[in-house]
Amino acid sequence: MFTSELNLQARRRRIAFLFLAPTLTTLLCVTVWPLVRTIWFSFTDTTTSHLYEGHWIGFDNYLSLRTLASGKVVWKGTLVDPAWWNAVWNTLYFTILSLCFETTFGLIIALTLNTHFRGRNLLRTAILIPWVIPSIVSAKMWGWMLNDQFGIINDFLLNVGLIREKIAWTANFDTAMISVLFVDIWKTTPFMTLLILSGLQMIPPDIYEAACLDGVHPVKVFFHITLPLIWPTLFVAIIFRVLDALRMFDLVYILTPGSSATKTMSAVSRENMIDFDQFAYGAAQSTLLFLFLIFFVSIALQISKTKLLEE
Amino acid sequence: MMKQTFKNTAFYIFVAVLILFSVFPFYYAIITSFTHGGALFQVQYWPKHFDFINYKTIFSQDNFLLSLVNSLIVATITVICSLFLGITAAYALGRVTFYGRTLLLLSILAISMFPQVAILAGLFELIRFFALFNTRWALILSYTILSLPFTVWVLTIFMRSLPVEIEEAAIIDGATPWIIITHIFWPLLRPAVITTGLLSFIGAWNEFLFALTFIRSESLRTVPMAIAFISGASEHEIPWGIIMAASVVVTVPLIILVLFFQRRIIEGLVLGGVKG
């Protein structure tokens, strides 16, 4: 009896590996291997048109130092490339601002949806619409609404008296990033809202009833009861959101094509890799982006660990 | 009493503004899509025109029709592939205990956090190597890996929540794991399958970066590409009416899915933390 049970367990384990094999092979071949190859390419001088003629050049794509005959020292590589640092700055700026706005609005809307009122289902359905619309379509729709000459936004703002003359929202250097942020906040707040709402719905209602009986002020209830209780959910939502914002691409590509005011790390890296025939250079930039993400995730995990230890 | 009424009114105004803000851009796209020529240059807040010419234009373009077909094929095969791989993997991860199971599951989840551009160079090489460049298979392959980690994650959580007893009887009767999956788990898994299938479909339908990189021929474009590349006679003559008509056509199926499967979609979104 005992041996047959053991056999059964062993057989199940063998079958488990058999069942896992297709997924693991796919993931290894199509994500892990390409990642390794990207990193490898970043140490070569491969071009897009000649993928197999690259040579190992070490860290030259990242940073290299050359002394000219005149004795002048020249630094080269992506780490001294102003276009790259501009993209890094754009990406960080976008990530931080979009995260702040989307988390705040997400919290407010989720708290609204967590109360009982007529039209609650309607609101929940309505906020799903920006989420489901393809980014490209959102970018085009807002591009049309933000159009300098015939756009409804300028028309509305002029009529209300908020602006004096029409603004080329997506083309102006100063307003391009605002436009991108605005559209992204419109599109992604629903995602934050629904994640936060799921956290709110896990809070047992009797906690609120007790606070209500004790006459605790709602603001105090929020900061002392609600926020600590939804913190784990909020934390996960923030991590997902930041990872997504750091690799942002489609919206800037369509809404503000080519604008240096909004070009993100993903956009610059892809442009070098595919459009400018600088395959290895773009690969180096995407490797840096990947390292950046790893750095962020390890910090986030560290924070969550210390939090857990405190409790 | 007065204060209460005021509070209620303010609350409903807030809700109304939220709803309006969420749906207005799509509403505006719809009314623009029925507007043609010079009428486009007069801002309209209420629908004034019902001109179907933009729709006639896009449906008479073979490439737009082809892009709908392409997106449908690519998204459907992506869903089938990721569900097949996802269910088999989730059975192993959710129902069988073995050493390193949690670590494996977390590694699979970590893969979904890779930025697409970080694997772009390697994937570009791989797709060239297997001569898949500029074919639908390039997209099916890359979209499957985008949705697979999330599919495995959600299905595993779901499989774990099912009681042990339902499997035991079948094991005693000598059923193979394949029979157990197809006859016992498949019917029970339906809600989770619908959720993950829908999100994979939406993801594949909306994806742009890989499509832009791996597809060259106009006849193989997916819908986001088709919309991105609609252009007029010159840079200053962007055909907004046509772009909006195409946008409405590719978005309506998604909105119908949202209306019918709202709960499933929200559930999946929350479990997987995915974004469209």
The 10s digit of each residue's pLDDT in A72-128 is 888 888 888 889 999 999 999 999 999 999 999 999 999 999 888 888 889 999 999
pLDDT mean over B249-267:
89
Both tokens of B238, joined, read 């962007």
Out of A33, A35, A144, closest to residue B32 by CB: A144
- Position A308 scores a pLDDT of 60
Out of A37, A135, A141, closest to residue B25 by CB: A141
Label residue A58 exposed, middle or buried (CB < 10 Å: 0-12, 13-18, 19+).
exposed
Report the complex ipTM: 0.88
Q: What is the DSSP string of B139-156?
A: HHHHHHHHHHHHHHHHHH
% of chain B beyond a pLDDT of 70? 96
Asked if A153 reaches chain B (Cβ–Cβ under 8 Å), the answer is no
**Residue written as tokens 């055909």?**
B239
Amino acid at B193: V
Out of A8, A150, A269, closest to residue B41 by CB: A150
pLDDT mean over B150-168:
85
Angle between helices B186-206 and B240-272 (to 10 degrees): 140
Which one, of B272, B115, B210, lies nearest residue A297 by Cα?
A: B115
- Position B76 scores a pLDDT of 96
- Where along chain B do its domains lie? 1-51, 61-272
Both tokens of A168, joined, read 């080329």
Q: How far, in Å, CA of B57 to CA of B64, rounded?
A: 10
Residue B74 has pLDDT above 90, yes or no: yes
pLDDT mean over B52-64:
88
| Tally of CB atoms within 10 A around A304 | 15
Task: Tell if the CB–CB gap between A289 and B118 is shorter than 8 Å.
Answer: yes
Residue B138 has pLDDT above 90, yes or no: yes
Amino acid at B94: G
Amino acid at B16: A
Q: Which fold has domain A82-276?
A: MetI-like fold (1.10.3720)
Handedness of CA B148, B154, B156, B159 (dihedral sign): negative
Amino acid at A165: E
Q: What is the DSSP string of A184-220?
A: HHHHHHHHHHHHHHHHHTTS-HHHHHHHHHTT--HHH
Residue B112 has pLDDT above 80, yes or no: no
pLDDT mean over B53-67:
89
Q: How far, in Å, CA of A77 to CA of A305, rounded?
A: 37
Paired residues of A56 in beta bridges: A44
Which one, of B237, B228, B230, lies nearest residue B41 by Cα?
A: B237
Which one, of A32, A30, A248, A28, lies nearest residue B143 by Cα?
A: A30
Residue from B12, B117, B208 to probe the interface with A (highest A Cβ count within 10 Å): B117
CA separation, residue A281 to residues A46, A54, B173, B235 (Å): 8, 12, 60, 31
- Position B209 scores a pLDDT of 92
- Position A150 scores a pLDDT of 86
- Position B275 scores a pLDDT of 43
Q: Is B122 within 8 Å of A37 (Cβ atoms)?
A: yes
Chain B contacts of A128, Cβ < 8 Å?
258, 262, 265-266
Out of A41, A132, A137, closest to residue B258 by CB: A132
Q: What is the DSSP string of A14-67?
A: HHHHHHHHHHHHHHIIIIIHHHHHHHHHTTB---SS-TT---B-GGGGT-EEEE
Residue from A13, A31, A47, A301 to probe the interface with B (highest B Cβ count within 10 Å): A31
**Residue written as tokens 């959102």?**
A138
Which one, of B189, B92, B186, lies nearest residue A12 by Cα?
A: B92
Give the closest-approach CA distance of B254 to chain A in angstroms.
7
pLDDT mean over B229-243:
78
Q: How far, in Å, CA of A193 to CA of A103, rounded?
A: 8
SS3 A169: coil
The CA-based angle A210-A214-A215, given to 5 degrees, is: 115
Chain A contacts of B205, Cβ < 8 Å?
134
Low-confidence ranges of chain A (pLDDT < 70): 1-6, 307-311
More confident call, A265 vs B175: A265
User: Residue B209, Cα to own-chain centre: how many angstroms?
Assistant: 14
- Position B28 scores a pLDDT of 92
SS3 B96: coil
In terms of CA atoms, which chain A residue is nearest residue B92? Answer: A16
Assigned architecture for domain B61-272: Orthogonal Bundle (1.10)
More confident call, B19 vs A205: B19
- Position B276 scores a pLDDT of 38
Q: What is the pTM of this model?
A: 0.89
pLDDT mean over B132-155:
91
- Position B54 scores a pLDDT of 87
Q: How far, in Å, CA of B77 to CA of B143, rounded?
A: 10
Q: How far, in Å, CA of A139 to CA of A262, rounded?
A: 14
The 10s digit of each residue's pLDDT in B214-229 is 999 888 999 999 999 8
| Tally of CB atoms within 10 A around B173 | 8
Residue from A50, A133, A288 to probe the interface with B (highest B Cβ count within 10 Å): A133
- In chain A the beta strands, taken as DSSP E runs, fall at 64-67, 73-76
Q: How far, in Å, CA of B207 to CA of B143, rounded?
A: 8
How sure is the predictor about B264, in pLDDT bands with cuts at 50, 70 and 90? Answer: confident
- Position B206 scores a pLDDT of 92
- Position A5 scores a pLDDT of 62
Q: How far, in Å, CA of B209 to CA of A235, rounded?
A: 28
